Chains A and B, each alone.
Chain A
Amino acid sequence: MDRSSNQSKQLAVVQQSVAHDSAIKHVTGRAVYVDDITEPVGLLHVYFGTSKVSHGRIRCIDLAEVRSFPGVVAVITADDIPGNNDISPRHQADEETLASEFVHFQGQVLFAVAAESRDIARRAAQLAQIDIEELPAVLSIETAIEQQSWVEPPYEMQRGDAAQALASASHRLQGELHTGAQDHFYLEGQASLSIPQEDGDVLIYSSSQHPSELQHLAALALGRPDNAVTVEVRRMGGAFGGKETQAAQWAVITALVAVQTGRPAKIRLDRDDDMISTGKRHDFRIRYDVGFDDTGQILGIDIELAARCGFSADLSGAISDRAMFHSDNAYYFPAVRIRSYRCRTNTVSNTAFRGFGGPQGMMGIERVMDAIAAHLGKDPLEIRKRNLYGDEGRNLTPYYMTVEDNVAPEIIAELEVSSQYAKRRTDIAAFNAHSPVIKRGIALTPVKFGISFTTSFLNQAGALVHVYKDGSIHLNHGGTEMGQGLFIKVAQVVADAFGVPLAQVKISATNTGKVPNTSATAASSGSDMNAMAALDACNKIKRRIAEFLAGENADAATVKFTQEGVWDGQQLHRFAAAVMAAYLGRVSLSAAGYYRTPKIYYDRDKAQGRPFLYFAYGAAVAEVEIDTLTGENRVRRVDILHDVGRSLNPAVDLGQIEGGFVQGMGWLTTEECWWDEQGRLRTHAPSTYKIPVSSDVPEEFNVQIWQRGENREPTIHRSKAVGEPPLMLAIAVHSAINQAIAAVKSGRILPFLNAPATPEHILMCLQTTHDKDEMTHNQSKETR
């Protein structure tokens, strides 16, 4: 794979490995993030105070000392909010900006203080006297289920008669698996800067994936219409879903301060407070009951997914839905029932995180594959291949969508050969036979990930393209840049559409004043939707120029925009010359573009429909080794083959695949969110919360874009979304660790390794595996 960058001076066309548009600014430190914006005169720095109990009724918040601290300018509480005190994304009114009567988790924001410096604001915030009457707290999934404590009612989907299939199957297994929470750990913490405008309006700079929602929530909080608020986002220092809804609170707080004081107001969260007060990936309890035949083919399955949602709904409904939509992963179920519990707990409200429930759903079924294989004494890969979606009769999902683009079998077959899976599996068995302390394991797992927001109306996007008289182009769209390379991809599409060099396209900050009513940049849909909207705008302008150049007597279709210039059927014009001519001919050179994803629908009551336009596929082979004395582990080698359709930018896509995989590996290995018995998160800084570092990535890390990939659907240049799917490739690592643990025993029981597979959990799992093994051993000898 050629990853060398093309100089921006060259003609940039799509499908080339062009460097990130901000790469030079990144490496020189000149890329501006919210906290880097030149501070306006009179800037106030905002900080906040939080609840130190998990659940309670506020008796009194005494802020006298806070207010009188030298340098403090304003203190705001729930009472100071003129409009709605609600930042819930779907307006469920279950998440207050500043807590008014009750607190629902440790870390919930109670009040905000604005001061002349950030240091003063932080010191002053510590002086509040807070009196909260503690109430019983629900902290675990188990307690929530017991008390039927939900943020949304349980939901179910089924196809066929799972109970009947289970009852009549010749083999049946049940099991349970826990997957842990995950902090986003975007390197740039939450930040927002609000600047008061005329008429009591406000301009907000935020590190947010969802400017339109911030605009709306700030307007509601201020009791003003949406048009009183403008939100601008140039770039984020990482987001991963953690700035889809979680950026709103800080934007709203600074907007309130700015409007109330008439001074600009900025907030930037300290890392610890960011980790304590903002949501994470949902931890899940997954249960399965599966029936299968002698070959390992699944006959029926019953899956239960329980998500710890935290204290409010946030996006938990859609996340739990997506977990259900992915609890089949790439496998066909003849009969299936999937139940989902959305547990309300007195912990931080969990939220979107790359994969959005999909990873948890897939972890369940991949465990099932390993369990069936262990039970039958077969290679797990054989079981996986046997259960893949297939042709007519084996291509219907549990939600009645027909899988039309199944390339999983091809990808798996290619990867199996290129990674030498079979040989290495044999070698590993031989190694393990002679290595009592160090054990190795290998696993191949596939990914099939549905692309589109499952909330259908979100699948729309807008863009705004201006062509100036000199031929330079201004590009704007509703998508936000968080490092994923969206801006460069869309710019490539636009440059290609006009036939101009990439450097001629000016990328501009996302701004609600330019493109309204946008959806979050999420669900991997950024380039699918925004590039299409931008292309629509380009096509409108091109059509107008073409009609002008063709004149009344010629067919506008003869006018072509090529890399050499604009061909009007008779002669070639430089692009700038054609543009100037069109301007002088009074042709509008600005257009708004729009796109809505076709074909998709979903009937929630019936749990049937086509929630996805298409699926993205991939597969990974991971080889690991564990130290059975300590539980330490190491990934020795990873091979990945991933489908991105026809890549818009192979370098960017490869970066998404590698980065997504490593992030997923962190979720399943070193990253552990640890709450104490009082519901306090104790891993709230990089000293205690460990995301992967360079040495965790294996030296042999063979990552390939699937060269035969092509989207069957008419997406932008037949590409496929790539943001989320690769994260789930990391399930291979977890599965391989479990295989390594299994190598210590003789029986046919799969170890019950939960995630994350930390040294502690691996060692404890080894322990129970030994014990269980002994038990089966003893039982078979009938000594008990």
Chain B
Amino acid sequence: MVQAKHSAIRFLLGHQPQQVSGCDPQTTVLDWLRGPAGRKGTKEGCAEGDCGACTVTVVELRDGQLQYRAVNSCIQLLPMLDGKQLITVEDLATADAVSPILHPVQQAMVDQHGSQCGFCTPGFVMSLFTLFHDQRAVQGASDSGLARQDIDEVLAGNLCRCTGYAPIVKAARQCSQQAAAGDEFSASEAGTIQQLQQLAHDDMLEMEFQGRRFFAPRSLQSLWEILAEYPAACMVAGATDVGLWITKQLQQLPVLVYVGEVQELQRLQVNPDTGVLEIGAAVPYADVLETLIGTYPELEAMLKRLGAEQVRNAGTVGGNIANGSPIGDMPPALIALDAILILSSSKGRRELPLKDFFIEYGKQDLQPGECVEAIHVPQRPKGLHYAVYKLSRRFDQDISSLCAAVSLRVENGEVVEPRICFGGMAGTPKRARAAEKALQGQELSLERILAAQQSLLNDYEPLSDWRGSTEYRMKAAQHLLMRFFLETQGEAPVQLQRGLD
């Protein structure tokens, strides 16, 4: 099947239709904004998606509705905007240079003294603007505004070095109180929807620049065909990892395949027959949170600390798995649930237990031309004890020193199917077989947990690096098994409680 193609990136900048062609498809949204677009309001703080100074809002048409999402423009690639609306800080206030009429979120930041040096401010403004268009802001806010924990969640991806955040939190509260009233963007929603519908198309964006190629296939079939032709192609979903290869390692990727437009990879459904949760590989975290947490509430704390809002809006579960990182947080959590990976190519489809996907550091069981299509998370068994723990130097938006996932059932007083998986303890996410064995078929007791702690010494030889020494990683891993045990015993509190004073 030959698919229709186009080679110009078409999107809305504010309300202005843009058509960009002839550019390097590796161009980041930020570089395009600050360069050719002449919009210098959006700042580069780190060029790796960790500081939020470059935050912009990307609006997509989803089921006929506008969906506002904050993303880090420094690691978003320009072609990924195709068919969407991009809103930057310049779009919010009136153009008057001397006394512009400010957007409510901008006014709130001024009223609360939320800026000092001002460099992070446009990023905060755009995070707050996105919040302003988020149902949470409208529905979750009481008279006194959004709760602190919800505000922290929205702001976790924006670093400020001057204010200590207190005035920005107040500004967030102030604008959440006003969100229900809407703004110019809400008022012009119908027009925006129309504009986006006009941009919508079924043909594939395909670009070529100095011999390097970019594809944005729209169907699985089309993706397979491209991968068959370019087995070494680099697939990119949210670009929260690949973006850094470009900005930091200055890599020039010969063939880039953006999978975010592949309709089949956007599926998120519970199979009515098996109860299995099927997560398409290109579904961003932001979309999968609610469903996953619905079945496995134990995942909530970790998922809300995974990256930050901007990262979860772009990053995907499939990407987190496919890049094979030993410190990704999702693989241990899913391995402990015995998740299955669906891999496919033009040659066919296969199923692989997720635990078997990671062969060694930097090496996964992914054949040339093959893609991760979906992750299948089994239905929750009755009586499951499940816990996921993330340890990091900073609570929010930090890569784990180690991540632990434990699941087991107790039947007739005996531990059944214990699955213990750690991230950050080996070159790959890895099951703790010896520790599992120490529990298997035994009573869940302090004595057995102590034995499992000892067994971890046989399971892992963790590295020493800047995220944790060998000694700390092992000690903390052992202690997390104790935490799990104490929690099953209902003894409280055994974890720090955030924001619950």
Contacts and interface: CB of A to CB of B under 8 A. Distances in A.
22 contacts: A3-B112, A4-B111, A5-B113, A23-B118, A24-B110, A27-B114, A29-B89, A187-B160, A188-B43, A438-B495, A483-B118, A483-B119, A627-B494, A629-B483, A630-B476, A632-B391, A633-B496, A634-B498, A694-B155, A701-B166, A703-B166, A759-B393
Contact of A764 (B44, B163, B472, B493): B472
A692 interface: yes
A22 B106 CA distance: 13
Given A28-B93, A688-B467, A695 B166 contact: no
B498 to A, nearest CB: 7
Given A26-B122, A483-B117, A682-B466, 12 more contacts: A22-B115, A23-B110, A26-B115, A26-B121, A27-B106, A27-B125, A238-B161, A632-B395, A632-B496, A663-B164, A683-B466, A696-B396
Contacts of B159: 185, 187, 686, 691, 693
Interface string A607-646: 0000000000000000001110111111011000000000
Nearest to A625: B496
Interface stretch (B2-10, B45-53, B344-352, B367-375): B45-53
Interface residues of A, number: 94
A438 B494 contact: yes
A123 B118 contact: no
A651 interface: yes
Interface of B: 34, 39-48, 50-51, 53, 88-90, 92-93, 97, 99-100, 102, 106, 109-122, 125, 148-149, 151-153, 155-156, 158-169, 248, 250, 389, 391-399, 401, 465-469, 471-472, 475-476, 479-480, 482-483, 486, 493-496, 498-499, 501
Nearest to B168: A694
B115 A271 contact: no
Contacts of B483: 437, 629-630
A687 interface: yes
A318 to B, nearest CB: 23
Contacts of A187: 43, 45, 51, 53, 117, 119-120, 159-161
Interface string A30-42: 1111011000000
Nearest to B169: A694
A365 interface: no
A687 B50 contact: yes
Contacts of B122: 26-27, 29
A760 interface: yes
B457 to A, nearest CB: 16
A595 B166 CA distance: 35
A690 interface: yes
A123 B466 contact: no
A636 B125 contact: no
A236 interface: yes
Interface stretch (A302-310, A519-527, A654-662): A654-662
A699 B465 contact: no
A31 B121 CA distance: 10
B117 A652 contact: no
Contacts of B392: 690, 759
A592 B497 CA distance: 58
Contacts of B399: 687-688
Contacts of A20: 113, 115-116, 118
Given A27-B115, A697-B166, A630 B468 contact: no
A478 to B, nearest CB: 19
Given A435-B493, A629-B482, A19 B117 contact: no
B495 A627 contact: yes
Contacts of B496: 438, 625-627, 632-634
A29 B90 contact: yes
A674 B46 contact: no
B129 to A, nearest CB: 11
Nearest to A27: B106
A438 B110 contact: no
Interface string A165-193: 00000000000000000001111110000
Contacts of A31: 118
A72 B152 CA distance: 45
Contacts of B469: 760
B46 A271 contact: yes
B465 A238 contact: no
Nearest to B472: A760
Given A630-B483, A659-B116, A237 B396 contact: no
Contacts of A659: 116, 161-164
A239 B119 CA distance: 11
Interface string A655-680: 10011111100000010101000000
B476 A631 contact: yes
A485 B479 CA distance: 47
Contact of B152 (A437, A634, A694): A694
A410 interface: no
A28 B106 contact: yes
Nearest to B247: A270
Contact of A691 (B161, B475, B494): B161
